[in-house]
Amino acid sequence: MAPESASLAATLSRFRKIGIIGIPPLDVIRAANEHGLVIHDLDEPLVREDLETASPFLPRVYCAILRTAVVNALHLELDGIYVDTGPGKCDCALHTATILAEALPIPVICTRNTDTTGYGTPLCQARLPLIARMQAITAGVKSVAPYQNPPPPCSPTAGFWGVPPRDFSILELFPDTTHIYGWARCMENKTPADHALEATFNPEVPTVFFAQSFCAKTALARYLAKKHPHALYLDVDVHTTSSARAKVQAFLELSGVRP
């Protein structure tokens, strides 16, 4: 066993439940799986607590996903937290890790995920409800197992580019034949720092370029939306507002995309 792996295994052997923010390297997830640890993806809403409980630690005007991660970290009984702060995440996560390390009595360990082995993106291209596919993609970050029985690809009629939104309800509006692009595709491929894959889109289908409000990816989303011949740029904060829903509805309907 390499020294780094031995150190990781020794650390994880002390834990039963860990939280992850972003996508830590496969080595971490593999070791956690081997030790039978419970992994909580702190980027998702996991506890029924007001987002305001994050406000003593993060500004109110801040990425809603990281505010959610802080709320989860404060209210879940965890033994440790792994935060990816490499090129597949963002400076906001780095600063959040610094703050959590001081606020919590558990280890907060920063990682740099530079994994390059692609697992493939079958869910991104399948014909299934978009919410179910996005849920499966986000659940997939807790496992290193290769994908079994991947669904066949479909011909796309629309595109969703971006990160998994904090509020998945926006995804209800898209047809099952929507292909997923952006960081969510990198998630499924288990290469979150693959910026070339992240910037890939299909100019042939109307595409919504989505980013969380106050996230650095808003710049990339808007930039790519301007390059795409038929795009809607959209940023949403904590919850999907009625105007955000209406924009997506109108964009898809006026673009001739059938439900």
Partner 1 sequence: MILGDFGTSYCKFLDLDTPGAKPTIIATKELPRETRVDLATGHNGRRFADRYVNELIALARGGEAMIREDEYVLLDCGSRDIKFIKYQNGKLADMGWNAECGASMGFTIELLERYYDLDYGHLLVPEQTFSVTCGVLGMSDIFDAVISGVPVAEAVARFVKGIAVNAYRFAGSPAKLYLSGGLCDNPLFVKSFPCQVTPLGRFVLLRGLEAEARQLRPPCIS
Binding stretches for partner 1 (CB under 8 A): 230, 232, 241-243, 246-247, 249-251, 253-255
The nearest distance, CB 183 to partner 1, in angstroms, is: 24
Q: Which is nearer to partner 1, 42 or 215 (CB)?
A: 215
Q: Convert 158-184 to b/e letters by CB count within 10 Å (16 or more is b).
A: bbbbbbbbbbbebbebbeebbbbbbbb
Q: Which is nearer to partner 1, 16 or 227 (CB)?
A: 227
| Beta-carbon count within 10 A of 247 CB | 18
For residues 223 and 127, what is the distance between their CA atoms, to the nearest angstrom?
28
The nearest distance, CB 173 to partner 1, in angstroms, is: 11
The nearest distance, CB 252 to partner 1, in angstroms, is: 10
Q: Which is nearer to partner 1, 141 or 244 (CB)?
A: 244
Q: Which is nearer to partner 1, 123 or 234 (CB)?
A: 234
The nearest distance, CB 249 to partner 1, in angstroms, is: 5
Q: Which is nearer to partner 1, 80 or 162 (CB)?
A: 162
Comparing CA positions, the residue from 91, 235, 247, 115 lying closest to residue 187 is 115
Q: Which is nearer to partner 1, 57 or 209 (CB)?
A: 209
Map tokens 């593999």 to a residue. 30
H helices, E strands: number in the chain: 9, 8
The nearest distance, CB 246 to partner 1, in angstroms, is: 4
- Tell me if 54 sits within 8 A of 71, measured CB to CB: yes
- Tell me if 32 sits within 8 A of 52, measured CB to CB: no
The nearest distance, CB 207 to partner 1, in angstroms, is: 13
- Tell me if 239 sits within 8 A of 212, measured CB to CB: no
- Tell me if 190 sits within 8 A of 26, measured CB to CB: yes
